[in-house]
Structure formats: C-alpha cells, structure tokens
Amino acid sequence: MSSAPARDNTINNPVIPGFHPDPSICRAGEDYYLACSSFEYYPGVPIFHSRDLVHWTQIGNALDRPSQLSLPPDSTSSGGLYAPTLRHHDGRFWLVITNVSGDGNLLFTATDPAGPWSDPVRLPGVHGIDPDLAWDDEGNCWCTVAGVSQIRIDPHTGETFGEPRRLWSGASGAKAPEAPHLYRIGEYWYLLIAEGGTERCHGVSIARSHTPNGPFEPCPTNPILTHRGTDHPIQNTGHGDLVQGPDSSWWMVFLGVRPRGGTPGWHVLGRETFLAPVTWTDGWPVVGEVSTAMAPPPWPLQEPAPVPARDDFELSELAPNWISLRSRPVENCMTKERSGWLSLRARGASLDDSEVVFVGRRQQHLSCRARALVDPAEGRGGLALRLDEQHHYEIEATDSEVRVIARIGPLRSVVASHPGTGAPVVLRIEAAVTRQVTDARQGPDTVSLGVEDADGAFLELAALDGRYLSTEVAGGFTGRVIGLYAAEGTVHFDWFDYEPLEN
C-alpha cells in the first residue's frame, strides 16, 4: 500500500503504513527495493518497489514456498522472521535474515526482486540476529549481526572464516545494539546501528572507520535519530537503513509508531516504515525533519499504483498482500473449489489456536472498515482483527447464529450474538480512531463489529476498546492484521473489501 500525496506539496509519512517494520532498502539504477520483517506470517518478507521513495508497490514476498520458510505450528507469535537486509551487488539481489523459530540465519538471492528467490543458503557459523551483508574492494563478504559482531562469509556456500570480531556497540550503557548496516561511503566505512530497544527509547547511532573491521569512531552527535523523551506524534524511531538517490542525495528509511489515546499511548498498527532526508556535515550524516507530512524528494513523483480495496477471489492465486499464519497448505486455502470464492477449510478450532486457517491483510489506517460476504453453511468462521493468539476480536457466523468474540489475554468471551438466517451474510469490522482524549486511560480507537442487512445498513453488535489489541498491552513486535478465517468445516467467502476512513 502506498501513501497518496497530501495537500500543500507534502507527502504522507509513513510511506509504507501498517505492520511493516525493520525496513531495509537498496537501489538498482533508478529503482528502489525494500524488504520488511514478517515474523510468524506466511509468505515471508514482503518486497516493495518504488521509483520515488514515496509511493511503494508490493511486488511479491521473498519467501513464498515451504522449501524457503519453515515455521513450526507451535512457533510463537512475534517469532519467525526477523530483520532482513536487502542489497544489490554484482548484478544480483541478496537477502539475509534470521528465522528465530528454528532455521537461524539464512541467505537468499534473486535476479529479479519480484521473485523467484532461491532456496536458502544456511549460515550455521553466523550467530546473532539482524544480519547484514557488505562487500569490500577485495571481494570479501562481511556479515555483521546484532551485538555487534562481524565475521567473513562465503555468501554462495554459507561457509565462515575465522572467529567473530567484536565491533562498536553504540553508546555506553545503551541496551540492545542491533540492526547493524555497514556501508562504504567515500573514504570511510560507516556502521549504522539501532540501540535503546525498539520501544520509546529506540534510536539510530553511527560510527566510522577506515576499514570494514574497525576500529570505529562514534559520531559526536549520536544518536543521529531518536524521539525518546519527546511528545512527537511519531515514536520508537529506529532501525534505519541508508540509500543514495540517482541525484546523489541521501535518505533514510526507518521504523516508527503512531501511538494514540491516553497514557502511555497505544500503537495498534505495529511498527511502520518512515522516510527522512539525510545531509552530510563534517563527514557525518544528519537526519532531517521527521514528520507525518514531509517535503517530497526533489524529483517528480510517480503516480501511485492503485491497490484494490476489494478482492473478489477470481484469480487462481492470492495477491501478495494476503498473509497467513505460519503456513498456507493448498488443501486448506482454495480459490478453485467454488468459482469466484475463497474457500477455507478449518484446521484449528479458533483464533486461539496457532494452526487456525486465517488469510488476512495488514491494517494500514488508523480508521478503516473491512467487510466480507460469508457463506457459513458448511462450517463456522468469519472476519477477525488479530494481534496474536491471545489478543483478537472477531465476528463469527454459522448457519444459525452470528456472534462477536473477544479474546484479551487469558479471558475469552462471547460479547454479543444475533440470529442467523442460513443465507450468506455480510460481516463488518470498523476501527474508528479516538478523536479527543478526555481520560488518561482512553484507548486509541474503538472497534465496532456487526452485520449488514440487504440494504447495506450496519447493525452494530459490539463496540470494543482498541487498546487491548495494541502492542503496549499484548507485547511483541507485530501489528494488527484483519482478515478471514475458518474454525470448523469449510467456510466460503465471496468477496472482501477494505477501505480507509477519515481520521
């Protein structure tokens, strides 16, 4: 999903809204490509393309087949795939990432970033998360990981050489030095890292050396990006990556969140991808103003690619923005069993189950509406707003009943019900952002769940506090995903649509 141009010659930030954390970017000619973490969702690692750094189109997922991505059924939410690095080198695209749910560090290559990507080259000698790749003038490939340490590897075989070498790990006493990226820029090698933890104290710092192995000299104005201790509307800023434009300008993509409501502020969309300009002073990068409405780059903006709000499930394959939990067996997710319908065959009994059959898309707007036409005659299922197995709201249909279910931590409750008619029914979920905070405990939004009648009128069955589906309550690293599921038998979905509402 790309952002649309705002008024008065500004652009909307985040440039990739919704749960798209840990961005890594590279440029090939006039084209930019970007990858994000995907955690427990399958297919893994969404890949985006842009020509102006502002409007991004998802062109695929790098890990889209079982031979590339193994996520065991019992792997935890916020496990799975962490922090990719995407690079273009020697005519190929390189992607390195950590699967914390079992496979460790993995390296993939492609000639076309839209895919197909190779099967993984395993890196058993690389220990640590957030791997980075950089090549020196002699052709050596250096892999740097959170901590921060570095080892030379053969990227074709996964072989390592020597022992890991400890590098600069950021400010003294700062926790979680991670997300390292190493660059050769001019006469220096620069080591960019995140530190302070990915919560409110997150930040980006940098050091430089005359060799890729150090010793590294820290920037005297570190951190070069942070919003810690401020009331800025964008918080948790960190995990950055640098890219140079064709006009020699420099830019940084990084993650941030948009908390809403009272204290402590709750963010529900996950960590999103933001953009900021970068200038250089005395050989050090200076990150420009970070804003939700920023000045565009100094080149013509491309027309944003339309993202269909509605999917009628008429194609044999699902669009790349659809994601599932841990796997997507073809026998459980079908577009050919009933022509023009998505058919989901249940495997888990509810969204509490890690093996539930679920097909969703990221919530990308603070206020939005999702609707689906569901035929539950052969089973039980519906429309859900999910953060993890212990935090979700859903409106579920059988041929005799429609009910709203809330799971909040250890508590699970049917909060409302309505008679079914035995016919297909339109289910609807709306998120409406809190406009005015009158209580420090007031949540970020209200989630309304209900059904539509034949004339499209909305019958609200429940209105629930959105803070219970936030990272500050649930923990973890992901954001809300809204979509379709089956909990018993086979459930058919004729269409699904998603639209932003005015904030």
Q: Which domains are assigned to the chain?
A: 11-294 (2.115.10.20), 310-500 (2.60.120.200)
| 272-281 vs 250-257, strand pairing mode | antiparallel
For 446, the token pair is 């209200």
Confidence (pTM): 0.96
Whether omega before 14 lies within 30 degrees of 0, making that bond cis, reads yes
SS3 472: helix
Residue with tokens 């979905």: 493
pLDDT along the chain (503 residues), means of 10: 50 95 98 98 98 96 97 96 98 98 96 98 98 97 98 98 96 92 98 97 98 97 97 97 96 98 97 98 97 89 78 95 97 94 97 97 97 98 98 97 98 97 96 94 97 94 98 98 98 97 78
The rounded distance, in Å, linking the Cα atoms of 43 and 114 is 13
Could you tell me the CA-to-CA distances from 403 to 80, 235, 270, 400 in Å, in that order? 32, 36, 27, 10
Q: Which amino acid is at 427?
A: L
Residue with tokens 């799971």: 407
pLDDT of 503 reads 62
Could you tell me the CA-to-CA distances from 53 to 2, 16, 498 in Å, in that order? 10, 10, 25
22: left (phi over 0), alpha (psi -120 to 50) or beta: left
Could you tell me the CA-to-CA distances from 322 to 70, 81, 358, 374 in Å, in that order? 18, 17, 10, 17
Residue with tokens 């995990």: 239
* Helix, strand, coil % over all residues of the chain, rounded to 5: 0, 50, 50
pLDDT of 9 reads 74
The rounded distance, in Å, linking the Cα atoms of 459 and 468 is 23
The rounded distance, in Å, linking the Cα atoms of 223 and 190 is 14
Residue with tokens 């895919």: 115
Asked if 400 contacts 420 with a C-beta cutoff of 8 angstroms, the reply is yes
For 233, the token pair is 């509307």
pLDDT of 414 reads 98
Q: Which helix (H) or strand (E) holds 275?
A: strand 272-281
pLDDT of 2 reads 43
Active site residues: 22, 178
